[in-house]
Structure 1
Amino acid sequence: MFTGINEVDWAALRHAYGSAEDVPGMLRGLASADRAERDTALDGMYGAVHHQGDVYDSTLACVPFLFALVGREEVPDRAGIVELLVSIGGGDDGAETLSGAYAMARTAVRAGAQVFVRLAGDPDAGVRRAAAGAVVRFLDEPATVLGLLRERLMVERDDAVLLALTEGLGLFVRRHPGRAAAALDLLTAQSAPPYGPGLRIAALGQLAGCAPDRLPDDLVGTVVRLLRDRSERRPTRPCDRDRPETDTLVGRLRRLRPSDEEGSQLLRTLHTALDDRVDDRIGLLCGQLTSPDPVDRCNAVWMSTGLFREWRADHTEPVALIGAQLGEDEDRLRDAAVTVLADLFELAAPAADPLDTLVTSRPDLWVRQWTRGTPTLGGPLKALARTGDPRAVPVLAEVLAGPVVPGDLGQVIRHLGRAAAPLAPAFRHRLARIPLDSPDVHERALTVLPALEALHDRECVPGVLRLLLGIPEEARLRDAVVANAVRTLGAIGSSAHEAVPALRGLLECDSAIAAADALWSVEGDAEAVLPVLLRELTGGTPHRRRAAADVLARLGPAARPALPGLRPLTESGTVWERTSAACAVWRITGAPDTVLAVLRSAWAENPHTRATIAGCIAAMGPKGTPLHDLPRAELASARRHRTSSGGFGSHDVFADEQLLRVCREALGGG
């Protein structure tokens, strides 16, 4: 297995953390008889040699030895090594576009592809399952590949391997469209009786992605019936529980797998393939969420996040069904439902009643304690408050009266609007009790100030000034505390007039822009703030120039002296700087013609700019008409605006709903 390993100058090769001299030990560890040693070695391969999918010269040097390992039946856990080889070779469908070291890695894995052909009939079912997709990805002999898949489908008896072979057929169709007919015929046959429900769902998922015209008319009803049939037949999850756990990344990932990983993958594949068939996906989710099997329902809850985060639709029914899971005794299902609902904000309103029931009945879930760091609001209470439901207010008052205030309480308050007003006295009391010389002054302040800012509480001004003027220079995160205090005063506006001297005193420090913004809100004196903003506009960093432009936009025509500094920024290489400058020019001059092209290009280039641009269009009233096509097109789009920017964040749905609200305002819809 390791012939020639000592002839490689590993010390001269590199991986993610430097010299690759430790790689021979990892390779030998993969063949160890000790489970923990094998898991540790695989950790090392993914963590260093193939770190986050990267390919190094040491990665390439490992490929022959990895092939040697998978070819020896006495080596345990070879399936994991086959999966590693697939990943190194660029297993994704788009891997043909790889270049450089990645292309070399793919070539190296392709050179050994005949090994995968042999492994497709290996005695180990896990190896056969991993090899099924590897053959399709790396063997450039379509006729041989299709023949092998057909042969294995006829003789295979392991359900998991059959599913992998079915996935392989779908991949074959996408990779070899000119030879797809026979593979599609096989998939179509597998999607109907007498095949079992799991295999039929798998085949339907592949057909949805590559030949939707072959799907049954009643796709949703068919899949829901198959899912329930499968659940009735599904045995208890075997045995990884009988294997010793290891404190490794591999071990932790194994423990985090869904209790029905196979079912989760089947339905996720189908949902992904259905893509913009949103009505079908909602119907499918509702079918999953009403399954008698709690495992199916739990899979559906997690699966719903992709639909909610990517597509705008009427999600009332699936959200209500997710809310219905909150009354279940199974912690895993309830916790999944809470997590999903908390990220939906107002869209979780159909689940508000069961959320309130859970909050009322479980005070132990009001606050979440962490091993390290500040406690935070518990998921059920946070989710209820984020819907804007006033029933959260009395509970938050009890939390606020406790010994420790959750660190995120101030951020959550803003979603309750005026309903949270009764909490203001308690927040003021907390603010007054913050000892300015305490080492945790920043933690306490950054919890209370955002709440008072959201509440626009006029009576908190003395307390905010006490903190602003008294916090020690050496205090940790002092700048953040000052910035929050200044924003709070600005949110209060003219009622914070006694803060004017303090705000003027900050016009020459790092918080100058925030102070100028607040000062404008409090007293509306352009002469006091323009010199500061002009200075930052021409001499600050890109971030500060953008911030200054945003404040100048608020000044409107009073900021006309800033136009010579703003106009060059509309040609900046930074899209956010261009956007802020263009919005400022428009709101100062009232003439959109000079910045229309800038705003149009920014809207298309970076979807994150759209809320800012739509806000500018709304603020300009009838003068915004030349750009009304932008919010109109946004409102007509079914896809959420951040989907194309890659990745997902916990506030994506909230941000998208805010954008839609501003777009409606821009078009006069309120």
Structure 2
Amino acid sequence: MFTGIDEVDWASLDHAYGPADDVPGLLRGLASPDPVEREAALDAMYAAVHHQGDVYDSTLACIPFLLELVAIPEVQDRGAVVELLTSIGGIELDGDDEPGPDEEEFEEAANYAMAAAAVAAGADVFVGLLSDDDPGVRLAAPCALAMLHGEPARVLALLCGRLEAEPDAEVQLALVEAVGRIALRHAGLRAEAVRWLTGLLAPAHEPCLRLSALTQLARCGPASLPPDVAATTTALLREADGPASADETCGTDDLLRTLHSALGDRVDERIALLVGRLNSGDPGQRTDAVWMCHGLIRTWRGPYDELVRCIGAQLGDPEPRLRAAAASLLESLFGLALPAADALAARIAGADGGRGRHRGADGGAVRGADGSANGGADPCTGVAVRDDRALVALARLGDPRAVPALAVALEEPELPREVAFAVPYLGAAAAPLAPVLRRRLGETELDDGAVPLMLALAALRAAEALPEVLRVLRGASEQGGEWVTESALRALTAFGPAALPAAPELRTLLASACPSVAAAAAKALWAISGDGAVLPPLRQLLAADGPDARRSAAAALGFLGPRASAAAPALRELLGSRERWLRMDAGIALWRVTGDTRDALPVLLSAWEENRYGRVEVAECLTEMGPAASPAAPLLRAELSRPRRHNVLDGGSGTHDIERDERLLTLCRRALSAGT
């Protein structure tokens, strides 16, 4: 074993933490009879030699020895070594992604390519592992073959032929998944793989195997799925989770997640699957289904009323994690949470008994097991806990039933920020909250803790809070920063002429070194007094260096409207800017200043196509234009026909993504109905 390992100059090679002279010891540790030593060696291989998926020169040097290890039956835990090899050799580089020889990433990409070639050259070793005595080895081998072996047709035949002889249910699922991988990777073998997978749907097979085949078909052969895929899947899940399958290792949650994702834009079928799962008797399965709902609703548009009602029903479940998951999702849905409004109101009433009973033994807000106020009971007193996420969700619906609980929450010694940020969504219904908002603003530090209070007061146009807002404005430049200052200016803008005593401070801020503050001060002064003195500094800001300053100025000029017509030539000039956001903002401002679509509309139509994240702002402007924006009608109709949300990000999401996309759809409909 390990012939030639000491002939490698390991000290001259590197891994994530420097010279690789410790690697021979790690390789020998993988072959140790001591399970603790084997586990430590494997952890170290992933931490250093294959750190976060990277391939170093030492990683390449390890490959022959790792291939040797998996071929020796006496070595324990060889399945883990097969998985390590699969990870090392399984990174693919598509042609467009490969860096050129003069790029910094070239050496890294070359290492990946050499690793793939080296593992593939020895991949025949995995063939014999399909019938190994160790189930862990048999479990890892199918994926290794599907991803690494250079003869996919041979591998497909081996995998399909092995299924009948394989006694382990979990390994059977791995064989089915590997066939699906081959179908996805090799178009010429897809039809054969799909035929085999379709045959596994027959009732003679175990439910877990049929579920696995259904999942792979959704990924590689959706046309071969049964027409009633949701009903079929729900029935199979019920059968697989039932007592008759108690001894069968299946992982139905994992299978459902994979199938759910593979169904892609088949939203109706995905909804039906999740509704079925949300009616399961297992709280864990329902919790998992709620988290799957997150991904579905965040990514795809669809008719979610029934699904949202089912999510709302989970708020009354005794399982705290399920309640927290449901409240978290409903909080992110904004208007889409409407079918769950009654459930949210009941949750809030039940959490505080309608009397604000939400304090712990020390007088502070009671927090859930995860440290957040997600509802439950104080373990010391048994008193019900306010569910902040449910409260925010109800407030974001504009539901006045949230007001009493909001009033209690706003009295907390430590202001719950997200709750305070939700107040503006209530509109006029939040008027009873103005006194406590004003008092809290008068007490708060001059930092970003004041922001949600001022935004709430701005939404209420509570001009009686002028002294408290001025206190923040006067001290924010030193203690609070730009965001606090701009929030104070937004409140003054909302107060309008009632905020006239603030005019001296606003005139001073017109000369602020921060462009966004100067522009916000101009808007506030205009709203308060209509003072044309704001126009020269805004025109000067429009000519400043940097797109951010120009964007701030353009937005403020658009707010002024026709009274800012003198700035129209400068705005027209910005329509040709290289900055796409600036072009869009200039086009919107030009329309609002001139009321003329000839120059602005073509720029906005281009902005729609080149910058999907600006479509809400463009749609707002198109709605204002009315019939004059008729050339935009095809774009608006095309947007309404798309199943995927316009602002979906791969690998991430924002807390307001769903709200913005739903707003875009509303604006598109409104613009079209206005004659666009």
Query: Which residue is equivalent to 2:406?
Result: 396
Q: Which amino acid aligns with 1:223?
A: T
Q: Is the 8 A contact 2:575 2:584 kept in 1?
A: yes
**Secondary structure, aligned partner of 1:571:** coil
Counterpart among 171, 178, 181 of residue 188 in structure 2: 178
Pairs aligned (count)? 640
2:327 maps to 1:317: no
**Secondary structure, aligned partner of 1:401:** coil
Counterpart among 504, 508, 527 of residue 505 in structure 1: 508
2:520 maps to 1:517: no
**Secondary structure, aligned partner of 1:643:** coil
CA 1:65–1:642 in structure 2 vs 1: closer, same or farther (change >3 Å)? Answer: farther
- The whole-number CA distance in structure 1 between the counterparts of 2:492 and 2:154 is 73
2:547 maps to 1:558: no
The aligned runs of 1:524-539 (5 Å cut-off) are 524-525=530-531, 527-539=532-544
**Secondary structure, aligned partner of 1:667:** helix
**Secondary structure, aligned partner of 2:537:** helix
The aligned runs of 1:66-85 (5 Å cut-off) are 66-71=66-71, 77-85=77-85
Q: Is the 8 A contact 1:590 1:623 kept in 2?
A: no
CA 1:660–1:472 in structure 2 vs 1: closer, same or farther (change >3 Å)? Answer: closer
- The whole-number CA distance in structure 1 between the counterparts of 2:321 and 2:370 is 23
Q: Is the 8 A contact 2:626 2:674 kept in 1?
A: no
- The whole-number CA distance in structure 1 between the counterparts of 2:578 and 2:35 is 53
CA 1:602–1:58 in structure 2 vs 1: closer, same or farther (change >3 Å)? Answer: farther
The aligned runs of 1:109-188 (5 Å cut-off) are 109-188=119-198
- The whole-number CA distance in structure 2 between the counterparts of 1:104 and 1:560 is 64
**What fraction of aligned residue pairs are identical, expressed as a percent?**
50
The aligned runs of 1:47-66 (5 Å cut-off) are 50=50, 53-66=53-66
Q: Is the 8 A contact 1:461 1:489 kept in 2?
A: yes
- The whole-number CA distance in structure 2 between the counterparts of 1:36 and 1:451 is 58
2:421 maps to 1:411: yes
User: For structure 1, which segment, 224-233 or 561-570, has the greater mean C-alpha deviation from structure 2 after superposition?
Assistant: 561-570
CA deviation string 1:96-119 (max 9, x = no partner): 866333433332332232233233
Q: Which amino acid aligns with 2:669?
A: R
**Secondary structure, aligned partner of 1:628:** helix
CA 1:449–1:58 in structure 2 vs 1: closer, same or farther (change >3 Å)? Answer: farther
Quote how far apart the aligned CAs of 1:212 are.
3.0
Q: Is the 8 A contact 1:60 1:105 kept in 2?
A: yes
CA deviation string 1:527-551 (max 9, x = no partner): 3222222222222322222222222
Quote how far apart the aligned CAs of 1:415 are.
2.3
Query: Which residue is equivalent to 1:349?
Result: 338
CA 1:144–1:309 in structure 2 vs 1: closer, same or farther (change >3 Å)? Answer: same
Quote how far apart the aligned CAs of 1:74 are.
5.8
Counterpart among 189, 203, 216 of residue 199 in structure 2: 189
Quote how far apart the aligned CAs of 1:204 are.
1.2
Q: Which amino acid aligns with 1:514?
A: A
Quote how far apart the aligned CAs of 1:322 are.
1.4
* TM-score under structure 2 length normalisation: 0.85
User: For structure 1, which segment, 195-204 or 100-109, has the greater mean C-alpha deviation from structure 2 after superposition?
Assistant: 100-109
Quote how far apart the aligned CAs of 1:427 are.
0.8
Q: Which amino acid aligns with 2:636?
A: P
User: For structure 1, which segment, 97-106 or 487-496, has the greater mean C-alpha deviation from structure 2 after superposition?
Assistant: 97-106
2:215 maps to 1:205: yes
Quote how far apart the aligned CAs of 1:145 are.
0.3
- The whole-number CA distance in structure 2 between the counterparts of 1:545 and 1:655 is 24
Q: Is the 8 A contact 1:614 1:663 kept in 2?
A: yes
- The whole-number CA distance in structure 1 between the counterparts of 2:298 and 2:226 is 27
Query: Which residue is equivalent to 1:301?
Result: 290
Query: Which residue is equivalent to 1:247?
Result: none
The aligned runs of 1:4-43 (5 Å cut-off) are none
Larger Rg: 2
**Secondary structure, aligned partner of 2:231:** helix
2:330 maps to 1:327: no
- The whole-number CA distance in structure 2 between the counterparts of 1:26 and 1:408 is 49
User: For structure 1, which segment, 49-58 or 123-132, has the greater mean C-alpha deviation from structure 2 after superposition?
Assistant: 49-58
User: For structure 1, which segment, 223-232 or 336-345, has the greater mean C-alpha deviation from structure 2 after superposition?
Assistant: 336-345
**Secondary structure, aligned partner of 2:543:** helix
User: For structure 1, which segment, 365-374 or 16-25, has the greater mean C-alpha deviation from structure 2 after superposition?
Assistant: 365-374
CA 1:522–1:52 in structure 2 vs 1: closer, same or farther (change >3 Å)? Answer: farther
Query: Which residue is equivalent to 2:88?
Result: 88
RMSD: 3.4
Query: Which residue is equivalent to 2:584?
Result: 579
Which consecutive residues of structure 2, in runs of 5 or more, have no partner in the other structure? 99-108, 360-364, 375-386
2:662 maps to 1:652: no
Q: Which amino acid aligns with 2:82?
A: V
- The whole-number CA distance in structure 2 between the counterparts of 1:388 and 1:10 is 66
CA 1:430–1:553 in structure 2 vs 1: closer, same or farther (change >3 Å)? Answer: same
- The whole-number CA distance in structure 1 between the counterparts of 2:39 and 2:674 is 58
- The whole-number CA distance in structure 2 between the counterparts of 1:293 and 1:587 is 56
Query: Which residue is equivalent to 1:452?
Result: 457
Q: Is the 8 A contact 1:406 1:447 kept in 2?
A: no
CA 1:564–1:164 in structure 2 vs 1: closer, same or farther (change >3 Å)? Answer: same
- The whole-number CA distance in structure 2 between the counterparts of 1:237 and 1:398 is 51
- The whole-number CA distance in structure 1 between the counterparts of 2:3 and 2:574 is 63
CA deviation string 1:288-324 (max 9, x = no partner): 2222333332222221122211222210111111111
Which consecutive residues of structure 1, in runs of 5 or more, have no partner in the other structure? 239-259, 436-440
Q: Which amino acid aligns with 1:614?
A: A
Q: Which amino acid aligns with 2:431?
A: A
Quote how far apart the aligned CAs of 1:192 are.
1.5
Quote how far apart the aligned CAs of 1:190 are.
0.9
- The whole-number CA distance in structure 1 between the counterparts of 2:522 and 2:555 is 11
Query: Which residue is equivalent to 2:622?
Result: 617
**Secondary structure, aligned partner of 1:343:** helix
Q: Which amino acid aligns with 2:214?
A: L
